[in-house]
Amino acid sequence: MSKNQKDIKCSFCGAGKQDSLMLIAGLDAHICDKCVAQANDILAEELTLKKGKNLNTTLTLLKPQEIKNHLDLYVIGQDDAKKVLAVAVYNHYKRLNQKVTKDEVEIEKSNIMMVGETGTGKTLLAKTIAKVLNVPFCICDATVLTEAGYVGEDVESILTRLLQAADYDVTTAERGIVYIDEVDKVARKSDNPSITRDVSGEGVQQALLKILEGTIVNVPPQGGRKHPDQKMIPVNTNNILFICGGAFDGIEKKIANRLRTQTVGYKFKADDNDVDLKNLYKYITPLDLKSFGMIPELIGRVPVITHLNPLDRETLLNILTEPRNSLIKQYQKLFEYEDIKLDFEKDVYEFIVDKAMEYKLGARGLRSICEAIMIDAMFEIPSQKQDSKQLVIDMEYAREKFDKSDLKKLKVA
């Protein structure tokens, strides 16, 4: 027999229908609007506590010096950039653990801009930091980004990749690291006004502003235009650390003009000898980025600017042999799978580095030269029955294989 409408009460607080705005009916119970609101508050509080516990248990928060020591195992040199990155990342994740009260100072995040020639280790630094901190990390190429409504990818696709790296766990993704590579390619194309819009330059910078600063973005989980009917996922970018990197080819001339430095003719200043002409990147300022084509609003949202030094001969030699995942160790591991011990004579290391310096290929060029030398051995040895369990690469063999390769035909600039 059904109850009388006047006898219906909330099963939690006992309030009657006349004492509440609404009673929601279940199978054998009712709940009033006040109990629903209270239950919602309790649930939100529990989820916040759980989020904080998960953050503390999964985040490996190291001191800046410990972060730098870990980077030293994988990246040779670049001490200035390592210190800047270590401090910025440490402060960012201290900020995540901060419990803000009414009277307490709220720490703002410090997005980072890394400027350096190609092959100096910008991407490797960002990858290594994300690995040691145990947080989601993704790399996005800025060259494919366009202003919303045009052919290409929207800036929201950056966060789509971060969600995929976090297995679509929004809470985990909201404390991740995003590395935007080739950010110099979205520089303003020209200072002259034009009828057409700069959709892959300044337009992208404008679209990046709110994401870098911190806002709630509706992210398409499978990409923007291919699935227009998909349900959007709201992502708060307030706690996402953005690291931007780019070669900024040609910015040395703008730095030299600002320093009023020239190598030919009369010198403007008496202290020009104090300027390191081989590494003008170390003098970079936000003013140089602005003159290159980055808009002031974007520069202001990336307050930490660091540079990577060009690689000299000694650094390239260390990169070839010293890191845990150095090229030589990788080749030795490959041959170890064939039960062959691979050794190189020291002269070969010198030869590889000399060629990398000669062709100005940087750290990435070391791999190309090593491949040219090792390709025949890697092709033939797996199919042969080896009597000897050791392979030694000497200078004569290395020079012969390199001379046969297409790299020999490169013109030195």
Pairing of strands 112-115, 304-307: parallel
Please report, in angstroms and rounded to a whole number, the separation of the first and last CA atoms in the chain. Answer: 95
Q: What is the 8-class DSSP label of residue 114?
A: E
> Is the Cβ–Cβ distance between 159 and 235 less than 8 Å?
yes
- pLDDT at 411 (0 to 100): 46
Mean pLDDT for 135-156 is: 83
Residues 148 and 40 occupy one common structural domain: no
Residues 86 and 116 occupy one common structural domain: yes
Residues 184 and 257 occupy one common structural domain: yes
Q: What angle do the packed helices 327-336 and 362-380 form, to 10 degrees? A: 20
Residues 251 and 336 occupy one common structural domain: no
Q: What are the pLDDT digits (tens) for 317-352?
A: 999 998 888 999 999 999 998 888 999 999 999 999
> Is the Cβ–Cβ distance between 205 and 148 less than 8 Å?
no
3-class DSSP assignment, residue 179: strand
208 vs 246: CA distance, rounded Å: 16
Q: What are the pLDDT digits (tens) for 194-215?
A: 556 777 888 889 889 989 988 8
Q: Is residue 241 classed exposed, middle or buried when 0-12, 13-18 and 19+ CB atoms within 10 A define those classes?
A: buried
Residues 232 and 327 occupy one common structural domain: no
Domain stop point among 250, 272, 307: 307
Domain stop point among 283, 307, 331: 307
- pLDDT at 1 (0 to 100): 37
Residues 97 and 35 occupy one common structural domain: no
E-strand stretches of 229-378: 233-236, 241-246, 304-307, 341-344
pTM attached to this predicted model: 0.74
141 vs 246: CA distance, rounded Å: 10
Select the more confidently predicted residue: 56 or 383.
383
| Structural domain containing residue 48 | 5-55
Q: Which range is most confident: 30-34, 143-147, 386-390? A: 30-34
Q: 412 pLDDT band (50/70/90 cuts)?
A: very low
Residues 240 and 93 occupy one common structural domain: yes
How many distinct structural domains can be found in the chain? Answer: 3
Q: Give Cα 279 distance to the centre of its chain.
A: 24
